[in-house]
Amino acid sequence: MNNRIQRKIANLEGLQRFPAEDLFSYFTINKKDTILDVGTGTGYVARAVATKVDKVYALDSDKDILAYLMKTSDESGIRNIEPIIGDFKSIPIPKDHVDTAIASISLHEVKPLSVVLDQIRSTLKQGGVFVCIDIEKTENASAPRAFSGEMEQEMMNAGFTIVNKSFPAMKLGKEPLYVIVGRK
């Protein structure tokens, strides 16, 4: 494994994360559901969800990160994750195919959001749910961030009906988070 990927894994695995158990309180999950984890990274969300459903698509643009995810999943006995190398702007999953899409700390750097949200919505079955967890933009933010209000508006523009918006007490480092849930 090269140094770049080792540094990326160390950075991703070292993050204080939104607890996966808390994530499940934002949507109903059924064993037969198909889930899309958008920007899966090392698979924190994908692995947690995989224990509760039959199928998880783990989408990321980095094949080395996906290889790491599959190695750690296999070591944990998780075999229902399908890695997908792809771009958020052209998600290689059939239309109306997944029950729930989750983007956890993966959309704050994406521009334009409208294209990605349209892609996510197209993968969802009618009535499907999109859960967006991301970092709130603050006055002191030095890295790219999206205001929760901007994300909410972009989701509505993409055709989502917002069913929940909250600001968990937990932070990522010192940065506040938001959770927005939209239904197709």
Between the ranges 79-83, 101-105, 140-144, 170-174, where is the mean pLDDT highest? 79-83
Q: Is 41 exposed, middle or buried (0-12, 13-18, 19+ CB in 10 A)?
A: buried
Q: What are 98-146's pLDDT values in tens digits?
A: 999 999 988 877 889 999 999 999 999 999 999 999 888 667 756 556 7
Instruction: With beta carbons less than 8 A apart as the criterion, state whether 48 and 23 touch.
Output: yes
Q: What are 27-73's pLDDT values in tens digits?
A: 889 999 999 999 998 888 999 999 999 999 999 999 999 999 999 99
Angle (CA) 88-50-23 rounded to 5° is 75
Q: Which CATH number fits domain 3-183: 3.60.40.10, 3.40.50.150, 3.40.50.300, 2.40.110.10?
A: 3.40.50.150
Residue 112, preceding bond cis, omega within 30 degrees? yes
- Give the predicted TM-score (pTM) of the model: 0.86
